[in-house]
Structure 1
Amino acid sequence: MTLALKIIKTGHVPKHVAFIMDGNRRYAEKQKKAGIEGHVEGFDKLAETLKWCRDLGIIEVTVYAFSIENFNRSEEEVSGLMELARDKLAEQGICIRVIGNLSLLSEDMRKLFAEAMIITENNDKATLNIAFSYTSRDEITHAIKDIAVGVKHADILPEDVNENLISQCLYTYKSLNPDLLIRTSGEVRLSDFLLWQISNSCVYFTNVLWPEFGIWNLLSAIFYYQKCYSDLQRIAKVQQLKPIIEHNDRTSMYINKLHHERQVMIENIYLSTVQS
């Protein structure tokens, strides 16, 4: 294993990897266990995978933990997932960012996430982005709404709207786009996950169920990324040939204002936790 890690690290290792952690329920059925036990083992697998990523030099991981569509599942399964997320979040020792529509969550879940983000925000060894109550369409919709409000209040003008501005209004504005997206369980679809951000990312599908995902599966995905790296670099060079659109002072002020408002919202939720 040590030799395999050394060999992989002689090539270009992605800095940011995203995971669609699929197959927890099918794993539980396969093992003749309760559905929630599959999710428990899935969260345990995430902790193990994060360690592998750190060993490889991957400094940022984004995981699809809970889609907005998951609210359509049974109340028992949804509440079980919420409790599991609440318990497991406290175990992480890295910088945690929760991306998603937090307004759809209960007050105690919002407080939990705000506390995790504030307490870990200065940790700089690695970053874990947890997409919770998330879909890409919802993310882009909220970005467009924020931009519309900015235009309405004359903070920005219609001609200021471009790809760069939209990117800065997404939930992921603090992150670079993923280099590699991995989906487990054999499903070959993106399930409304990071659709804006992965337009030039390497995408790797594997048949293994998420709780059975192992270090060799991760190394295989990274090796696949390395084989695709020259093509990714060629695409990046083409992108660099496009005219660079710099933010003007007006747009920069609007972006800073928006980011500040989002940070204050999280801090206020956290303060309500401390004061209660």
Structure 2
Amino acid sequence: MVVRRGLQWIYNKIVAKAQQCILAVLAAGPVPQHIAFVMDGNRRYARSHNKKIQQGHSEGFVALHKILDVCLHMNIHCVSVYAFSIENFKRPREEVDALMALMEEKLLELCSKGDLLDEYGVRLNIIGRVELLPKNVQRAVRKAEKTTRHNNRAILNICVPYTSRDEMTTAVEETVRAGLAFRIDPDTFFTKEEVDRRIMTTARGSPPLDILVRTSGVQRLSDYLLWQCCENTQIQFTPTYWPNFGLFDFIPIILDYQRKIWSRRISG
């Protein structure tokens, strides 16, 4: 038993060192500043492994922690994840309640001292209709955002509860109200740039979106970051369920991004 544990420790150290070398090589090339994930496949992963749906979501949060670590090692400045759609409130009550409890737990865990966000100086933004969340989850949101407010090295946007159409509608409404309040000629004030300033990710300091990744093999955007990915965003679909998504699923995505950037620079 002692020998086995010793061999496992050595194996883990070798794997960790190899991953660090891989990330260092990737980071030497063009690195995206903002990458977003549709974390899809938690429920199908759970069913395929004869687990409860809640356990699939829980393992999805573990996968988020791991891939966030990879992104931060590569100096990717901003990561956005689709955690819960406004439409997801229509799911069975038991599943929604379990997700809300898990969300409260993980938000408080993410902002605890010594966690990944604290280590890398990551500011946490909750993007979406926070007022639709249960009161206890709203309190966890406020605490998590307050705890990380002064971090300025990187950004993690957790979109919950969120839909892009709601985000765009809200941004347009705010632009119209601002124009009316200051009695500005709508022909000069109501522009794409003014709406973009009020898009939630932009308003919270996120750079333009470089890559959007959806896991689980489903090839649709599901009302996620539609405004942000309409220009110069590379959209990637991978068959891997989100709880299984890791470094070796991520490498081809980054290499493809770097290949396209290099191609543009050569042709330009």
Common fold by TM > 0.5: yes
Instruction: Please report the RMSD computed on the Cα atoms of aligned residues, expressed in angstroms.
Output: 1.9
- The C-alpha deviation readout for 1:168-200, integer Å capped at 9, x for no partner, is 111112211221111100011111110111122
1:63-82 equivalent positions in 2, closer than 5 A:
63-82=81-100
Quote the Cα distance in structure 2 between the aligned partners of 1:33 and 1:195.
33
Deviation at 1:230, TM superposition (A): 4.5
Mean Cα deviation higher: 148-157 or 201-210 = 148-157
TM-score in terms of structure 2 length:
0.83
Quote the Cα distance in structure 2 between the aligned partners of 1:58 and 1:107.
33
1:90 is paired with a residue of what secondary structure? helix
Deviation at 1:44, TM superposition (A): 0.7
Deviation at 1:202, TM superposition (A): 1.0
Q: Which amino acid aligns with 1:169?
A: R
1:57 is paired with a residue of what secondary structure? coil
1:95 is paired with a residue of what secondary structure? strand
For the 8 Å contact 1:202–1:228, the answer to whether it is kept is: no
Residues 31 and 13 (structure 1 numbering): CA distance in 2 closer, same or farther, change over 3 Å?
Answer: same
Cross-structure match for 2:70: 52
Quote the Cα distance in structure 2 between the aligned partners of 1:231 and 1:171.
32
TM-score in terms of structure 1 length:
0.81
Which of 215, 218, 229 in structure 1 is aligned with 2:261? Answer: 229
Cross-structure match for 2:128: 100
Deviation at 1:125, TM superposition (A): 3.0
Q: Which amino acid aligns with 2:252?
A: S
1:133 is paired with a residue of what secondary structure? coil
1:119-268 equivalent positions in 2, closer than 5 A:
119-154=147-182, 156-159=184-187, 160-172=189-201, 173=203, 174-199=205-230, 200-230=232-262
For the 8 Å contact 1:15–1:60, the answer to whether it is kept is: yes
- The C-alpha deviation readout for 1:97-144, integer Å capped at 9, x for no partner, is 000012222222222212211221111232110000100000001111
Cross-structure match for 1:244: none
Cross-structure match for 1:249: none
Residues 156 and 103 (structure 1 numbering): CA distance in 2 closer, same or farther, change over 3 Å?
Answer: farther
1:25 is paired with a residue of what secondary structure? helix
Which blocks of at least 5 consecutive residues in structure 1 are unaligned?
238-276
Query: How many residue pairs were aligned?
Result: 236
Deviation at 1:152, TM superposition (A): 2.9
Cross-structure match for 1:86: 104
- The C-alpha deviation readout for 1:40-69, integer Å capped at 9, x for no partner, is 000011011111111111121000000111
Residues 231 and 108 (structure 1 numbering): CA distance in 2 closer, same or farther, change over 3 Å?
Answer: farther
For the 8 Å contact 1:20–1:183, the answer to whether it is kept is: yes
Residues 232 and 169 (structure 1 numbering): CA distance in 2 closer, same or farther, change over 3 Å?
Answer: farther
Quote the Cα distance in structure 2 between the aligned partners of 1:232 and 1:201.
14
Counting aligned pairs with the same residue, the percent is 39
Deviation at 1:30, TM superposition (A): 0.6
For the 8 Å contact 2:104–2:136, the answer to whether it is kept is: no
Quote the Cα distance in structure 2 between the aligned partners of 1:74 and 1:232.
47
Q: Which amino acid aligns with 2:89?
A: F
Quote the Cα distance in structure 2 between the aligned partners of 1:230 and 1:197.
23
For the 8 Å contact 1:204–1:224, the answer to whether it is kept is: no
